[in-house]
A and B are shown apart, each in its own frame.
Chain A
Amino acid sequence: MSDRKIFSVVGIFDSAQHLMNAIPDIRKRVNAPLEAYTPYPVEGLDKLLGHRKSPVGGMVLVMGIIGALSALGFELWTSGRDYPQVTAGKPLFSWEAFVPIMFEVTVLFAAFTAGLGMLLLLNRLPMFRHPMLRSSSLPLVTRDRFALAVEARGAEIDVEKITRLLQEFGAKSVEVVEEPAPAGVASPKFFLRTLTAIGIVCILAGFITYWTMKLFPIVKPMVHMLDQPRLNPQSPSRYFSDGSGMRMPVSGTVARGSVPYTIRNQELAGDLVNPLYRTETVLRQGRQAYMNNCSVCHGVLGDGKTSLTKAYGAKPANLVSQSIAGLPDGKLYHVIVAGKNAMASYSAELGEDERWATVHYLRVLQRAANARDEDIPK
């Protein structure tokens, strides 16, 4: 006998009845887990062996409920909170639309729990070969014998006492099954290490791909929105008889809510009065419009200094300079609507209120650039 650890002591019985008769007596005398090996399913064996109900069922139920709730939570958050978008006139919280995904995620969670729970928990997956597979008892079991194993499960067991007991209660022969020798290359540890290595390689490959695409944009990722069939502004189209892709407004009509701007000259616009009060809401609206449309060229502070200035050699106006700060509201408004020098008209991007709010915000920037002592909060 070698000095390897003992896995179990196995007794071979001649019939299922012999086996069933022996189990209660042996259970009474031995305080160790029992396992039976039979050539066909023997009814009532589970109960005799004192095996508890499999925990997988309960795990599947809990994980299924968790799956349903997490799907519901995720859907509530995405479509009701993070990106609320009305689809087909349905309410944001439309449980009907959520149910199929909840169903799928429930099944996914439950099925994975059942599969992995069975493999890892009950069948102890990283263990490739059960020690019984190498015993000389198993070939007998696959023919016509019945085996009862008293398992050590890591603890010390009294081999001689158990051997005696098994023989006393009808075992024809007894075999001591040892834990397998430390496995070579194909060990469970190797298996786990390989899995970990594959995981690390996958994560690294993801990062490398991401940064390659970001730093060396040779391959464009996910450009489906750019590649779709569409008409760019000013592009020709054979669809319309005049060959132009853009359409003129229907003659004699005005878009709803818009007031036609008829002033052609910046000098004449000086008389216009800003219709908005300088409230906090208006200033916030103005800052939003400025940040989105103006700050790219004129700078976040309005001083006309941005990276674009260097890259393209353009010289956007310094909006906080004395000369521009001295202009009346109407003249600034006119520039937003009509454009000036290299600057295009922003009448399409900004509505009437937004333009006036932007003008108010310009005054804030100008005041900030020339702040007086009393402006500094104490």
Chain B
Amino acid sequence: MNKQPGVRGMGADRKLIVLAGAGLVGIVVSWIVSGGERFWANWILWFLFLLTIGLGSLFIVALEHVVGARWSIPLRRVPERLSSLVLIVAPIALLALLSLDSLYSWTSPEALANPIIAGKRPWLNVPFFIARVIACLLLWGLAWWILVRGSIKQDKTRDARFNLRARRFAPLFMIIFGITITIVAFDWISSMEPEWYSDIFGVYIFAGTFLAGLAATTLALLYLQSRGRLKDITRDHMYNLGGFLFAFTVFWSYIGFAQYMLMWYANIPEEVFWYQERIEGAWGPILLGLAVFHFLVPFFLLIPRDAKRDPRFLFWTAAIMLFSHWLDLYWMIFPVLDLGPLFGLPEISFSILFVSAALLWIRFSMTRGADMPAGDPLLSEGLEFRL
């Protein structure tokens, strides 16, 4: 914890930069070859994937401050560093505004002929949309500044007043988080099909977001441990993370099924069409895969007590869950293109670019602060946590 072995191995950084460059060339080529719509669908998919990981991690940090958890203090630096993704998504989100014309049909004047879309006009109009995007980015930046930057500063200052400030701000962030995650769900995903209605959609995205943050935190923690860092974190800490993963797998499935079942039962055209588009043809197997890999597999894998304590086992379970979260976003966004499930050059180059860029950014964020919140007065209590 005190030692910092090779935080910035330049070799790894250089490899990531080369990969990102290759990805960048790939996405430019894919713009020319497959056109703008597919480009922007990929862009939004990866924007939301990184955003949900960052925001979910920030939520984990805030949750610890809200409930006054002690066990998670030693591993708090992991979600704190992952939450720096909410900063890097700002330029990505602003660039994504360029996709409004091609992916969001409510922006066109003809859409107003549809009475449903006309009725949603007070919310769905371009100036207000942009204002919401910027407001959300600012709020997340502010929350990051207070919760994460304050925590990193505390490493040196050892000032316990940070804990009080975080404890006061975190409940407020819970409200901000609830509203902004709903705005993200409604604006970026559900408004791609502007006729669609679903009240529970924000909760569904929240479930996926928290799960993405948890899975990424688990993966990063176990990776760092395999590299000989964070050695003081025990299997009891892992057990708690595994328990969280298990609980929110069930929560995601519960919300997802609740949304599906109500729409299936009522069978109202302006609701069911969304599911019809996402079940027909090759989307059916993908939805089935979502049910299997986002629910059944992690659910049964995480039932045994020992599964939540075994680092290798937990690592692969978390990897499956993070992939399923990506698949979930893919399944929601790509049917808008009306081309069936696509996976080709654009998707591969976007994956390479965004994964390597995100890893670079996280490695960069790891240059500041210790591996554990060394200045937190309750750290030793967290280290002593045993089940």
Is the A/B pair a real complex? Answer: yes
* Shortest beta-carbon distance from A333 to chain B in Å: 46
B305 at the interface (CB under 8 A from A): yes
Q: Which residues in A have their C-beta under 8 angstroms from that of B267?
A: 88-89
Interface string of A30-59 (1 = CB under 8 A from B): 000000000000010000000001000100
Count of A residues near B, CB < 8 Å? 10
The one of B264, B303, B305 that contacts A96, using a Cβ cutoff of 8 Å: B264
Which B residues are in CB contact (< 8 Å) with A97? 261, 265
Question: Within the complex, what minimum Cβ distance (angstroms) separates B152 from chain A?
Answer: 32
Q: Judge whether A100 is part of the interface by a CB distance below 8 angstroms.
A: yes
0/1 interface trace, chain A 59-95, chain B, CB 8 Å (1 if under): 0010000000000000000000000000011000000
Give bound CA distance, A61 to B305, whole Å.
Answer: 12
The yes or no answer to B227 lying at the interface (CB within 8 A) is no
Minimum distance in angstroms from B187 CB to a CB of chain A: 29
Q: For residue B305, which residues in chain A have a CB less than 8 angstroms away from its CB?
A: 53, 57
Contact of A61 with B303 in the complex, beta carbons under 8 Å: yes
A204 within 8 A of B: no
B145 within 8 A of A: no
Tell me, rounded to whole Å, the shortest Cβ–Cβ distance linking B253 to chain A.
Answer: 10
Give the chain B neighbours of A96 by CB distance below 8 A: 260-261, 264-265
Q: How far is the CB of B70 from chain A (nearest CB, A)?
A: 16
Give the docked Cα–Cα distance between A61 and B261 (Å). 25
Instruction: Tell me if B257 is interfacial: C-beta within 8 Å of chain A.
Output: yes
- In the assembled complex, the Cα of A96 lies from the Cα of B263 at a distance in Å of 11
Determine whether B386 belongs to the interface, using a CB cutoff of 8 Å to chain A: yes
Which residues of chain B come closer than 8 Å to A89, judged between CB atoms? 267
Would B260 and A43 count as touching, CB distance under 8 A? Answer: no
Q: Is residue A324 contacting chain B, with contact meaning CB distance below 8 A?
A: no
A158-195 vs B: 1/0 string, CB under 8 Å?
A: 00000000000000000000000000000000000000
| Any B CB within 8 A of the CB of A121 | no
Q: Which residues of A contact B261 (CB under 8 A)?
A: 96-97, 99-100
- In the assembled complex, how far is the CB of residue A174 from the closest CB belonging to chain B, in whole angstroms? 30
Give the distance to chain B from A90, nearest Cβ to Cβ, in Å: 8
Q: Mark A96-121, 1 if CB is under 8 A from B, else 0.
A: 11011000000000000000000000
Inter-chain CA distance A43–B303, complex, in Å, is 23
Bound-complex Cα distance A99 to B295 (A)? 14
Query: Considering the chains assembled together, what is the distance between the CA atoms of A366 and B88 in angstroms?
Result: 94
From A87, which residue of chain B is reached at the shortest CB distance?
B265
Query: Which B residues are CB-close (under 8 A) to A100?
Result: 261
Q: Please report which residues of chain B, range 264-314, place their CB below 8 angstroms from some CB of chain A when the two chains form the complex.
A: 264-265, 267, 303, 305
Which chain B residues lie closer than 8 Å to A88 at the CB level?
A: 265, 267
B residues near A99, Cβ cutoff 8 Å: 257, 261
Docked CA distance A100–B261 (Å): 9
| Chain A residues whose CB sits within 8 angstroms of the CB of B303 once the complex forms | 61
**Closest chain A residue to B387, Cβ basis:** A43
Report whether A43 and B386 are in contact in the complex, using a CB–CB cutoff of 8 Å.
yes
Question: Smallest Cβ distance from A337 to chain B, in angstroms?
Answer: 43
Residues of B219-262 whose CB lies within 8 A of A: 257, 260-261
Closest approach, in angstroms, between the C-beta of A241 and any C-beta of chain B? 37
- List the A residue with the shortest CB-CB distance to B267: A88
Give the docked Cα–Cα distance between A53 and B304 (Å): 11
Minimum CB–CB distance from A353 to chain B (whole Å) comes to: 36
| Residue ID in chain A nearest B264 by CB atoms | A96
Give the CA-CA distance A298 to B267 in the complex, in Å.
50
Residue of A nearest to B384 (CB): A43
What's the least CB distance linking B244 to chain A, in Å? 19
User: In whole angstroms, what is the CA distance A61 to B264 when docked?
Assistant: 30
| Complex CA–CA separation, A61 to B304 (angstroms) | 10
Bound CA–CA A53/B305 (angstroms): 10
Q: Report Cα–Cα, A63/B265, bound state, in Å.
A: 29
Most buried by B among A43, A89, A96: A96
Q: What residues of chain B lie closer than 8 Å to A57, measured between beta carbons?
A: 305
CB neighbors of A among B149-193 (8 A): none
The 0/1 profile, CB within 8 Å of A marked 1, for residues 302-335 of chain B is 0101000000000000000000000000000000
Tell me the nearest residue of chain B to A61, going by C-beta.
B303
Q: Provide the B23-47 mask, 1 if CB < 8 A to any CB of A, else 0.
A: 0000000000000000000000000
CA distance A43 to B234 in the complex (A): 13
For residue B129, give the distance in angstroms from its CB to the closest CB of chain A: 34
Name 10 extra pairs, CB < 8 A, besides A57-B305, A96-B261, A97-B261: A43-B386, A53-B305, A61-B303, A88-B265, A88-B267, A89-B267, A96-B264, A96-B265, A99-B257, A100-B261
Task: Please name 7 pairs of A and B residues whose Cβ atoms are closer than 8 Å in the assembled complex, sorted by A.
Answer: A57-B305, A88-B267, A89-B267, A96-B260, A96-B261, A97-B261, A99-B261
Where the two chains meet, the residues of A that have a C-beta atom closer than 8 Å to any C-beta of B are 43, 53, 57, 61, 88-89, 96-97, 99-100
List of 3 A-B pairs having minimum Cβ-Cβ separation, nearest first = A43-B386, A96-B264, A96-B261
Residues of B within 8 A of A (CB): 257, 260-261, 264-265, 267, 303, 305, 386
